[in-house]
Structure 1
Amino acid sequence: MSAPQDVHLLIVDDDERIRVLLQKYLVRNGFLVSAARDAAHARRLLGGLEFDLIVLDVMMPDEDGVTLTRELRKIIDTPIMLLTARGETSDRISGLEAGADDYLAKPFEPKELLLRINAILRRIPHVPEPVGGPKVLHLGAVRYDVDRGELWQGDAPIRLTATEAQLMRIFSANPGEAVTRTRLVEELGRDDGQAQERAVDVQITRLRRKIETDPKQPRYLQTVRGAGYMLQPD
């Protein structure tokens, strides 16, 4: 499975052996790849270059991957894949809550990393643009431009991660209709299982913080008991 030559990845890992192996493997599979040895090095590269996806190790000295993810989410919406030696669900959920789009537990097969990277890169264009219907959905003080896939509050854009943008495209294609968690798992390119459904729940929680006045009592991105989630615009 090859990638377009203009897709630029950033690998961030303090283990030089892993860093070099991943860089060589991904280059062989058609990616442009830059590598950083720690969070500070990654920040310098991000200050001068644009990347299509960041592969980020969690366990790093000085500034760990979850903390770096949380800080990067304040300024960029580049997809982030976390690599973690911690296989506990709670640790993975922490990464998602910080703003990561996916995670992969070490040790892993390089091919699985490649498949997950390609799945993330396919997410946004994977969902077809809605045909007909309103071009802008109003969600209280927030509006969603369906054609451009952009969320706005007044004149200020609201940053969406790749996964959040994908969720908005799915929901905007089905306004007022419940979308099951199983379907969301499938549309987001994730494997089946309760853990993946829990991961979707975390993404929904994050998206609600950007849409709702009171995320704990959602008005627009509603939970439909036994059926999934539903976007209910004004």
Structure 2
Amino acid sequence: MSRLLLVEDDVVLAETLSRALRGLGHEVDVATSGEHALEVLADRRPVVDLVLLDVMLPGIDGFEVCRRIRAHDTIPVVLLTARGDAFDIVVGLEGGADDYVVKPVEPRVLDARVKTILRRVRGPAEQAPASKTHLIGDLEFDTDALRVTKGGAEVYLTSTELRLLLEFADHRGQVLSRQTLLKRVWDYGYAGDSRLVDAAVSRLRAKIEADPGNPLLLSTVRGFGYRLAKP
């Protein structure tokens, strides 16, 4: 059973959605503002598995809440937005969200998305190959310990970023398409949103590249996808 934090200021929607998610087997805490959400996380973080975060909140909006969470936590965050605007989606993903769902939300669809994300979060340790270290420049990735260091300093990655780097590390020098990455990292088929990949790659570059604007380790192959450099 998973425990979710639903952040939604519409009291009726929050009650309807939380009741439906509980009926599907989840425990659900509800916060009605960004400030409230941060307080709940500070108090209950060890038992919360995933955050469902509405974008349009009074006071601190969902984008800012996500950024504050990401400043110190790798917990999965799914944005709930009534707007399908591409700019809003990209801002949310680049701010550290793992995924997004456009409202109105069908509870069973949301349940499936949550389970997929939690399966990814809980899966890397089981899927990692036995004790294997990748060294690329000053970047070292131990797939046994799931530990990444750059120049000797530890690099903290979210579960999505970790799985993404693991996929690239297992296929160094090969070009991986966005659709391939959606299938292997996000467990999504052809209908997945390639912006998830682009945003995650951008966040990963910010953590592993000396100059993310001119990447040397994780390069873009225009029209095809991305490639991690060989040692």
TM-score (norm 1): 0.88
CA distance in 1, matches of 2:98, 2:11: 24
1:20 to 12, 15, 23: 15
1:152–1:158 CA contact under 8 A, matched in 2: yes
Q: 1:52–1:224: structure 2 CA closer, same or farther, 3 Å change rule?
A: same
TM-score (norm 2): 0.90
Q: Which residue of 2 aligns with 1:211?
A: 208
Q: Which residue of 1 aligns with 2:128?
A: 129
Q: Which residue of 1 aligns with 2:163?
A: 166
Shift of 1:209: 0.7
Pair 1:142 & 2:139 matched: yes
1:73 to 60, 70, 73: 70
CA distance in 2, matches of 1:114, 1:191: 17
CA distance in 1, matches of 2:89, 2:198: 13
1:13–1:38 CA contact under 8 A, matched in 2: yes
Q: Name whichever of 93-102 and 149-158 sits farther off.
A: 149-158
Q: Name whichever of 116-125 and 183-192 sits farther off.
A: 183-192
CA distance in 1, matches of 2:222, 2:80: 33
| CA displacement, residues 54-76 of structure 1 (integer Å, 9 cap, x when unaligned) | 00000000000011101110010
Q: Which amino acid aligns with 1:121?
A: L
2:34 to 23, 39, 44: 39
1:177 to 150, 168, 174: 174
Q: Which amino acid aligns with 1:207?
A: L
Q: How many residue pairs are counted as aligned between the two chains?
A: 226
Shift of 1:210: 0.6
Q: Which amino acid aligns with 2:102?
A: A
2:188 to 171, 187, 190: 190
Gaps in structure 2 of 5+ consecutive residues: none
Q: Which residue of 2 aligns with 1:29?
A: 24
1:137–1:233 CA contact under 8 A, matched in 2: no
| CA displacement, residues 126-166 of structure 1 (integer Å, 9 cap, x when unaligned) | 783236xx722223333212113222235543221222122
3-state DSSP class of the match of 1:49?
helix
- What pairs up with 1:39-58 in 2 under 5 angstroms? 39-50=34-45, 51-58=48-55
Q: Which residue of 2 aligns with 1:83?
A: 80
1:224–1:230 CA contact under 8 A, matched in 2: yes
Gaps in structure 1 of 5+ consecutive residues: none
Q: Name whichever of 216-225 and 96-105 sits farther off.
A: 216-225
2:98–2:196 CA contact under 8 A, matched in 1: no
CA distance in 1, matches of 2:74, 2:205: 17
| CA displacement, residues 4-25 of structure 1 (integer Å, 9 cap, x when unaligned) | x2x2111111111111122211
Q: 1:155–1:16: structure 2 CA closer, same or farther, 3 Å change rule?
A: farther
Q: Which amino acid aligns with 1:18?
A: L
3-state DSSP class of the match of 1:171?
helix
Shift of 1:92: 0.5
Q: Which residue of 2 aligns with 1:63?
A: 60
